[in-house]
Amino acid sequence: MIKSRFGTLAIVAMLTAGYMGAAHADDQTDRTLAAGKQRFMQNCASCHGENAKGAGIVASHLETAPADLTQLSKNNNGSFPFKTIYDTIDGRTDIGAHGSRDMPVWGAEYKLGTPTAGGMSESVVRGRILELIVYLQSIQE
Ligand code: HEC
């Protein structure tokens, strides 16, 4: 008997929804936050600093000073500028006023070596950027 693909997908969706639901929501958030923090320390702290305030070890070698990432909400009238930050980290749509930027294009970095089947690589990229954003949101002052 051939099982319907939709049937399987529906079950996966239900399980995922259940998993994200009440009982495990906090675990899930904690894990995303921890993953985002770890990624930040690996990929971002060299420029933005371990405390994200902009004074990483290579900061003085850059033409543009890395932004203080704890002030993103404050600089945006108290609300976290999700879309702008997402696009800035991704970087692939940022043509750059002067044709270059000091910030690496993370959307392209995170795509390297990811599985290409069925749009998987974009999901991986999105997951990695979202992890970082969850962490950044948690450190707003
Ligand atoms: C090589 C140094 C470098 C690294 C590594 C780096 N950044 Fe940046 N980042 C910068 C610089 C410099 C700026 C200032 C603006 C510019 O040049 O585009 C910036 C700007 C930003 C901004 C925009 C802030 C604003 O006020 O709009 C965000 C968000 C950001 N970085 C997040 C990250 C994240 C997340 C990572 C890690 C995945 C990261 N950066 C890694 C150098 C870096």
* Rounded alpha-carbon distances, angstroms, from residue 47 to 39, 64, 106, 114, 141: 13, 11, 14, 25, 19
Best residue among 44, 46, 80 to mutate for probing ligand 1, ranked by most atoms within 8 Å of CB: 44
Supply the pLDDT for residue 118.
77
Maximum separation of any 2 CA atoms in the chain, in Å: 65
What is the residue range of 67's domain? 26-138
Ligand 1 pocket member 133 (CB < 6 A): no
Q: Residue 52's pLDDT band (boundaries 50, 70, 90)?
A: very high
Residue 79 lies in a domain: yes
pLDDT in tens, 60-117: 999 889 999 999 999 999 999 999 999 999 999 876 555 567 889 999 999 998 888 8
Residue 120 corresponds to which tokens in the numbers above? Answer: 């998987």
Residue 16 lies in a domain: no
Residue 3 lies in a domain: no
Residue 18 lies in a domain: no
| Count of domains for the chain | 1
Q: Is the sign of the CA dihedral 122, 125, 128, 129 positive or negative?
A: negative
The pTM is what?
0.83
pLDDT in tens, 5-36: 555 555 555 555 555 555 577 888 899 999 99
